[in-house]
Amino acid sequence: MALLLALLVAGPLLAAEPVTLVFPSGGELKGVLLQDDGAVYVLERDGGQLEFPTASVARVRREPNAEADFRAREAKLPLKDPAALWELARFAAENGLPGRARRAAERVVALAPDHAEARAHLGYERVFGQWVRGDELMRAKGLVRHEGAWVTLAQRKSFLAEEARAQEEAARRPPPPQTDGLAAAINGLTAQLASPRSSVTQVVLNDGGASALAQARRARFRSGRVEGDEQGARPWRPEPFRVGSVTQGSGF
């Protein structure tokens, strides 16, 4: 009941009322409230309109702000007065309203094309009697683009010469050796596994080292032959360990 009475006393927010929206995070946004229908707030700031669901706003403070001041000043502005318009543009620029300031400066230039301050605010410079800006201004200053940046012709020439030298040095360097690390490792392993008893396992691996290794191992264990026994009468088996074969000083 107390909350209801407080709301009745406060009354509904008026259209075009200067307010500050306070969000649950603590952030604030100042502007002029254009709409409050109970579902959304429509706020005008820097000439643009922003819409927020009422549930996303913690509270609304009614207080003066720069947006409301700008609207009041603009309403009293003399028609077609470049000087007064420029003062309005300056007010906007000094009070955090860059969009308002830019549009006011454009109105100044439309009324007074040679207004130097308004032109400078919009990024113009006079070159050979003409007001230019942006890429046109850069080209008028004799600058050219190089890799996305504006540079002088001398700088571009230096950059191109340096790039050419780097390319020539790269071309003179010998290419790195093309070695197949996997094939080299397989060749080394095969050389260790190959037994001198069997000519079947004397394999030289090329680029197909992996399959050659597999074929050599299958051929070795399937043949069961020892070197010098072409008839294959006796399969090869490891010789049994003989105690009498160990001689003194052999290390055992």
Residue 157 lies in a domain: no
88 and 40: one domain?
no
43 and 82: one domain?
no
Tally the domains of the chain.
3
- pLDDT attached to residue 192: 72
126 and 85: one domain?
yes
CB burial readout 84-105, b (16+ within 10 A) else e: bbbebbbbbbeeebeebbbbbb
56 and 103: one domain?
no
**Rounded-to-integer distance, Cα 233 and Cα 226, Å:** 10
Q: Is 53 left (phi over 0), alpha (psi -120 to 50) or beta?
A: beta
Q: Global pTM?
A: 0.56
3-state secondary structure of 20: strand
The Cα-based distances of 25 to 33, 42, 123, 235 in angstroms read 20, 19, 37, 86
Residue 195 lies in a domain: yes
Q: Are 106 and 98 in contact (CB under 8 A)?
A: no
40 and 87: one domain?
no
83 and 129: one domain?
yes
Residue 50 lies in a domain: yes
Boundary residue ending a domain (35, 64, 93): 64
- pLDDT attached to residue 3: 35
Of 151, 106, 113, give the one whose Cα is nearest residue 129. Answer: 113
* Residue 177 token pair: 């050796």
Residue 230 lies in a domain: no
Residue 3 lies in a domain: no
Residue 175 lies in a domain: no
Q: Which residue has the tokens 């026994």?
A: 229
59 and 94: one domain?
no
Query: What is the full per-residue pLDDT of the chain (252 aa) written as tens digits?
Result: 333 333 333 444 455 899 999 999 999 999 999 999 999 999 999 999 999 999 999 999 999 999 999 999 999 999 889 999 999 999 999 999 999 999 999 999 999 999 999 999 999 999 989 999 998 888 888 888 888 888 888 898 898 888 888 888 888 888 766 656 666 677 777 777 765 554 444 444 444 555 555 665 665 555 554 444 444 445 555 555 454 444 444 443
Q: Which residue has the tokens 């620029």?
A: 93
Q: Are 118 and 109 in contact (CB under 8 A)?
A: yes
Q: How remote is the C-alpha of 247 from its chain's centroid?
A: 75
- pLDDT attached to residue 245: 44
Residue 240 lies in a domain: no
**Rounded-to-integer distance, Cα 194 and Cα 70, Å:** 93
Domain with residue 34: its CATH number is 2.30.30.100
Residue 118: other Cβ atoms inside 10 A: 24
60 and 84: one domain?
no
Containing 22, the helix (H) or strand (E) segment is strand 17-22
**213: domain range?**
183-223
- pLDDT attached to residue 26: 94
Total residues belonging to the chain: 252
List the Cα angle 145/150/152 in 5-degree steps. 90
Q: Are 173 and 202 in contact (CB under 8 A)?
A: no
55 and 33: one domain?
yes
59 and 87: one domain?
no
89 and 117: one domain?
yes
Residue 176 lies in a domain: no
Of 110, 111, 89, give the one whose Cα is nearest residue 101. Answer: 89
58 and 92: one domain?
no
